[in-house]
Amino acid sequence: MFLSVYHTFYYSSLFICAVVSLSMIKGLSPSFRWLAVLVVLTLVVEVGAKYVAYCFDTSNSAVYHVFTPIEFLFYTLIYALLVDDSKWIKVFWFCWFTLVVSEVINTLYVQPLGVSNTNIMMMESVMLVFFSLVLFLKIKESMEYENLLIESVFWFNSIILVYYASNILIWGFHSIKIYNLTDPPTLIYDVNLMLSGILYLVFSFAIFLNYKSSSNN
């Protein structure tokens, strides 16, 4: 079922993160509780998609056509809670709505269910980079935290920025619309898997920090 060391790394990280999330979910702040749910949901979807692809020998792209808007819904919720500014919250929800509409149009006219929805993933990445920058701005404005390095919000936001900025590049290369590649090199997937693995490890760390600070309070 698992094809390479990259896959193993990715799924192990996701699994660890899901275990951390489930074990600490009660002690987390509302935003990180949503993140924990998202991580567990991602594990279920990824394993399910992999199982379907393995058992039935078909493309699992359709799963991501549905999951991407759901994943983005969770991120929107998380950022809305973290930013806590009505003006930005409206902007975030508008982004989510735009992504859902775009997903429908993209599926109908550009990338059907049998093809990866890389355009939407790229769009999601751009929006998440934007969310992340907004949150950094709010952190700087509020001056709420004494030491950012021990703040779960900082780690979560930093990895979102790095990961999704990289994703723009990855899905850019992958997108048939940009490079006309019907068969992209496995290197792109491998890099993506490595970065995803790192993403979930940092998420685990952020969840742990959040749990610790919440229980201290």
Partner 1 sequence: MENTSINSSDIIVFMIAGFILIGLMFGFILYFLLSYKSKKKDYNLLVFQKKEIDKQQKALQQTLYELKATQAQLIQSEKMANLGELTAGIAHEIQNPLNFVNNFAEVSIELLGEMKEELDGGKTENTQEIMKDVISNLDKIKHHGKRADAIVKGMLQHSRISNGNAELTDINALCDEYLRLSYHGLRAKDKSFNASLNTGFDPTIPQIKIVPQDIGRVVLNLLTNAFYAVNQRAKLNEEGYKPTVGIKSRLIKDKVEITVTDNGNGIPADVVEHIFQPFFTTKPTGEGTGLGLSLSFDIITKGHQGKLTVDTDIGQGSVFKISLPVT
DSSP codes, 42-95: HHHHHHHHHHHHHHH----HHHHHHHHHHHHHHHHHHHHHHH--HHHHHHHHHH
63: amino acid identity, one letter: V
Site map 96..135 versus partner 1, x via CB under 8 A: ----------------------------------------
Helices (H) and strands (E) in the chain, counts: 8, 0
CA-to-CA distance for 156 and 207, rounded, in angstroms?
8
Q: Which two tokens stand for residue 71?
A: 């994943």
Number of residues that bind partner 1 (CB under 8 A): 28
Out of 43, 128, 139, 201, the residue judged to bind partner 1 by CB under 8 A: 139
Question: Is residue 136 a contact residue for partner 1 (CB under 8 A)?
Answer: yes
Question: Is residue 189 a contact residue for partner 1 (CB under 8 A)?
Answer: no
- What is the closest distance, in whole angstroms, from the C-beta atom of residue 143 to partner 1 in the complex? 5
Q: Which two tokens stand for residue 128?
A: 């998440």
Select the span of 23-31, 105-113, 174-182, 199-207 touching partner 1 (CB under 8 A): 174-182
Select the span of 46-54, 63-71, 169-177, 208-216 touching partner 1 (CB under 8 A): 169-177
Select the span of 13-21, 72-80, 164-172, 208-216 touching partner 1 (CB under 8 A): 164-172
| Inter-helix orientation angle 118-142/86-105, to 10° | 170
Nearer to partner 1, 34 or 155 (CB): 155
Identify the helix (H) or strand (E) that includes residue 33: helix 30-56
Out of 86, 180, 216, 217, the residue judged to bind partner 1 by CB under 8 A: 180
List of residues contacting partner 1 (CB under 8 A): 136, 139-140, 143, 145-146, 148-149, 158, 161-162, 165-166, 168-170, 173, 176, 179-185, 187-188, 191
